[in-house]
Structure 1
Amino acid sequence: VERVEILDSLNVVFHLNHSSGGFLYSLASPFSLMISTRTVSESGNKNDTIYYGTGPFIKDNFSGPVYSIKKNKQYQGIKSELDRVYFVRLLDNENREYSLTKGEVDILSNISGHQIDRLKWLGKIDYYVQRPFDIFFLGFNNKNKEMKNIFLRKAIASAIDLKKLVFNVNRGNAVVAMGPLPEIYYNYEGSIQLEYNLNESKKYLLNSGLGKSVNLNIIIPKMALTRETLLETIKTQLSKIGISLNVIYSYNWDEHDKLVKDPKSHLFIDGARSEIIGDPEPFLYSLFSSNSVFNTMNYNSPDVDSLLLMLKKEGDANQRFILCNQIMKHIENDVPALFLYHVKSHYAYNKEKIKKMVVNPYGLIQYHKVQLN
């Protein structure tokens, strides 16, 4: 943004340094920068920890352990039927289900599909399944000496049966990835990844020149409990072609980031989601630009960098789609990672009390649009 021109009390004009095809998508994102005059004037540089709210709700109690927001009576949009919304963190699955069935809570957010299977037979519970907008992947450290070998990357990518992996690990909570982008961003005509084929995988490993038996390091965050099951599945499938894994655990996210970027690391499991839905450019830039701090794969392609810059500036929707296809083709050929699955978020609510629950494409419950019976 070069400058902002104020036309009147309700209209502004953004003057940009260059054309930006995704700029309006960025402004429309609920994760975009929203400025509260009161927050800025009263909190100064501490506005990341002090909240007032300019939307349908404003801050009520943020001291915990039960947090609450209250209806903003001055809000000019849709007025909420709810005077207050209370938030409590329930760490135990059994406690979550019990709290909903006993009426202690009215909504469970981001729960697993098998919990929905148990709850929906009670009669009083309804549910909602969110379209995925994230990606989990087996990342390759493309700066590592061994992982620079395209044949090794292809051997790993074609040795893992994604359908079996997703079924065994996720149990209905995810969909198999056909590439890096969830379907909410990109309509795949077919997978851009190598298909599971053990015979081809063994040939790739042989062509790598690394021998019939290869040992690689994989970085696993001990904080993410679900990664253990995923890890065991990957280890089992890679062992069939002669690849063994040396597991290195991280115990906090700062340590994890350092280990992933270490030149000695080969593999890691990571995930990403875009804060701007509707346009794939920010998602692709975040993961694959050599200038992005979120490019944990250390992927570096001058062609992709150039295409991403063109995509950022291109305003024509058809041309943007063509550029996106070209970027995806490069990613298909380079195999910087194996894209595993997209997670589906599940929500359960008490239908005896709630007539309608609305969740936006970002997985955020729109409490001001909740309708009560």
Structure 2
Amino acid sequence: MFDRNGPLRITATVAIATSMVAGCSSMSGDSEDEKLRQMVTGTTSAPSTLDPAAAWDGSWELYKNVYQTLLSFPSSSSSPEPDAAKRCGFTDTASRVYRCTLRDGLKFSNGNALDSRAVKHSIDRVMTIKAKSGPLGLMGSLDRVEAPDKRTVVFHLKKSDATFPFILATPATAIVDPESYPAKKLRKGNKIVGSGPYTLKSYSKGKKAELSRYEGYHGPAKPKNDVVTVEYFQDSAKMVKALKEKKIDVAYRGLTPGQVSGFQKAQANGNQEIELTELLGSEISYLVFNPKDRMAGNPAVRKAIAELIDRKALVRNVYNRTTDPLYSMVPGGITGHTSAFYDRYGEPSKDQARKTLSEAGIDKKVPLTLWYTTDRYGDTTGETFAELKRQLNKSGLFDVTVKGRPWSQFVEGYSKGKYPVFGRGWFPDFPDADNYVAPFVGKNNALATPYDNAQITDELLPQSRKESNRATASKKFTTAQKIIAKDARLLPLWQGRVYVASLKDVAGVEWVMDPSTLPRLWELHMKSSW
């Protein structure tokens, strides 16, 4: 996505659970509230809007729990399976016509029927409204949607795209009620009409969302709690404070590597009250080189940097080993992942970098400015660029300067081609290698920095999208990753991890994140309450 991270941090993604507050079903009491299975969660990722047509960001975390999509990702797989749909599939061998049949008895939380007309309406309004912050960019291959009868939806694609089922599993295609969500404008207000596992009982922008289990939900999710309160925090320090004071039960998003390390050390010292579970994450961090810049546009300069950057030192010195070195734009855990940059450039080598520059006629220190955003990815971003500066300058081959700007200024700067090298982060829209390659190549890519490579854009990507078997398609991405490493227009740095820490009495945390690391709040519960 252009940056689903939104207010998320480019640090480890962490969920932390502590003891339940009063009202949990594991506690005795006579009131109705005390009989409900309740969870209170905290996050630094507040929704920017409640209308799915206007959000391609962290708002998806709430949408995942209140809206329904035709497909979703199951706990045990990164391949989409039916959700609001009873069954879906391509009806042709070219992967250009996709048909879904809806489940029986689907209803929105206001009682209106969820039928094929609602699905068509939901997709059409995204393409009609074209909100600047919306997910229209994911609909590039879609030509039109048909609803031939109440339970059948047919998607006609402009070109072959075997990744389309993955898109239908994202909140970009959340199904909304036609009577509640206008066809040509965004819905306003603090209410949601959906058909997901929860209804939105109340909402205070940037502060709190109260969710209640939706009894009319029909889908694969099996909620293990009845009520979830989501508290939104401006920073992780306040969230951790609330956690320690037991004002919240679960916290996800935004914790710093130092805070993660603190929990790890506590556990190593025998504190068994908090159990830490580590999962493979899908978030990546990388550098982008401006081809029009005098220095960054020189292949020898880019390759010398690729030969110098010590990713292991970066994740050790800055991230306390809460991230992993990344040697490809496609991270580990995604089908098609390789170590293309390591295979091509090997371990960091000053001698090799000097040779690369010398052969290109560069015998003096290379002046270069690296840019980063100061308020998008967390405090560790500045530390990351300080470490990169240290490594490159220590080689004696570069004279690096580091500069930071607030997100709005940062985007404006790199969009106008002002930055020689700049850092970006990426959280995938869906867990497929395509979503780690396609957004960054071509003339009009997500980085506003053209990367023209006809072999990738005109051959490998179109060919891969004809393969409904994504394992087969991975061969094309192996080649694409080799090309990206050779060009060194993009330089992967690290891959995030997902940490789930919980009190020994909290269950379900191992399933709380889906393959796109969106929270499935319905999995959380106390062991004694289920």
Report the counterpart of residue 397 of structure 2 in structure 1. 242
Counterparts of 1:41 and 1:330 in 2: how far apart (Å)? 44
Shift in CA distance, 73/282, structure 1 to aligned 2, threshold 3 Å: same
Quote the Cα distance in structure 2 between the aligned partners of 1:157 and 1:66.
44
Rate the CA distance shift 1:41–1:89 in 2: closer, same or farther, 3 A. Answer: closer
Q: Structure 1 unaligned runs (5+)?
A: none
Q: How many residues align?
A: 368
Q: Residue in 2 aligned with 1:76?
A: 218
Q: Distance in 1 between matches of 2:472 and 2:499?
A: 35
Q: Which of 226, 229, 241 in structure 2 is aligned with 1:86?
A: 229
Quick check: 1:214–1:242 contact (8 Å CA) kept in 2? yes
Q: Is contact 1:150-1:208 (8 Å) kept?
A: no
SS of the residue corresponding to residue 131 of structure 1 reads: strand
Aligned counterparts, 1:249-268, within 5 A: 249-251=404-406, 253-268=407-422
SS in structure 2 of the partner of residue 200 of structure 1: helix
Amino acid at match of 1:255: Q
Name the CA distance, whole Å, in 1 between partners of 2:197 and 2:301: 53
Paired residue type of 2:369: N
* Cα separation, partners in 2 of 1:297 and 1:47, compared to 1, 3 Å: same
Tell me the equivalent position of 1:203. 355
**1:302-317 aligned within 5 A:** 302-306=454-458, 307-315=460-468, 317=470
Residues 128, 348 of structure 1: 8 Å contact kept: yes
Contact 1:153 1:336 in 2 (8 A): yes
**Identical aligned residues as a percent:** 21
Contact 2:309 2:388 in 1 (8 A): yes
Which residue of structure 1 lines up, in the alignment, with residue 318 of structure 2? 169
What CA RMSD, in Å, does the superposition of the two structures yield over aligned residues?
2.6
Does 1:55 find its partner at 2:196?
Answer: yes
Q: Structure 1 residues 128 and 32, CA, compared in 2 at 3 Å: closer, same or farther?
A: farther
Counterpart among 9, 17, 23 of residue 158 in structure 2: 17
CA distance in 1 between partners of 2:241 and 2:447 (Å): 41
Contact 2:208 2:230 in 1 (8 A): yes
Indicate how the Cα distance of structure 1 residues 316 and 81 shifts in structure 2: closer, same or farther if over 3 A, else same.
closer
* 2:287 paired with 1:138: yes
How far apart are residue 330 of structure 1 and its match? Answer: 1.1
Match of 2:514 in 1: 360
CA deviations over 1:311-358 (Å, ceiling 9, x no partner): 234445465222212211211211112210011132323332x22222
Cα 1:184/1:114, change in 2 over 3 Å: same
* Distance in 1 separating the partners of 2:369 and 2:312: 24
Say which SS state the counterpart of residue 173 (structure 2) adopts: coil
Q: Deviations over 1:41-68 (max 9, x none)?
A: 4696123765333200111222142322
Q: CA deviation at 1:13?
A: 2.8
What is the letter of the counterpart of residue 145 of structure 2? V
* Matched-pair contact (CA < 8 Å) for 2:415–2:448: yes
Does the 8 Å CA contact 1:130/1:363 hold for their aligned counterparts?
no
Deviations 1:77-133 (A, max 9, x none): 345342321122345555444433442211121334314315545433233333221
Q: 1:45 aligns with which of 179, 182, 185?
A: 185
Assess if the C-alpha contact under 8 Å between 2:144 and 2:155 holds in 1: yes
Q: Which amino acid aligns with 1:159?
A: L
Partner of 1:332: 485
**Cα distance in structure 2, aligned partners of 1:43 and 1:17:** 23
> Aligned residue for 2:261?
114
**Superposition TM-score, scaled by structure 1 size:** 0.89
Structure 2: state its 5+ residue gaps: 1-141
Shift of 1:232: 1.5
Structure 1, residues 185-204: CA drift from partner, whole Å, max 9, x if none? 24545443422111001111
| Alpha-carbon distance in 2 for matches of 1:296, 1:173 | 30
38-47 vs 217-226, greater mean Cα deviation: 38-47
Q: 1:143 to 1:54 in 2, by over 3 A?
A: farther
* Separation in 2, partners of 1:93, 1:316: 41
Alpha-carbon deviation of 1:210? 3.6
CA–CA distance in structure 1, aligned partners of residues 466 and 181 of structure 2? 35
Alignment match of 1:299 (pick from 445, 451, 457): 451
Counterpart of 1:192, as a letter, is F
* Structure 1 pair 184–318 and aligned structure 2 pair: CA distance change class (3 A): closer
**How far did residue 274 of structure 1 move?**
1.4
Contact 1:108 1:348 in 2 (8 A): no
TM score, norm. by length of structure 2: 0.64
**Maintained 8 Å contact 2:224/2:524:** yes
Assess, with a 3 A threshold, how the Cα gap between structure 1 residues 9 and 368 changes in structure 2: closer, same or farther.
farther
1:283 aligns with 2:436: yes
The answer as to whether partners of 2:307 and 2:353 remain within 8 angstroms in 1 is yes
- In the alignment, which residue of structure 2 is the partner of 1:34? 174
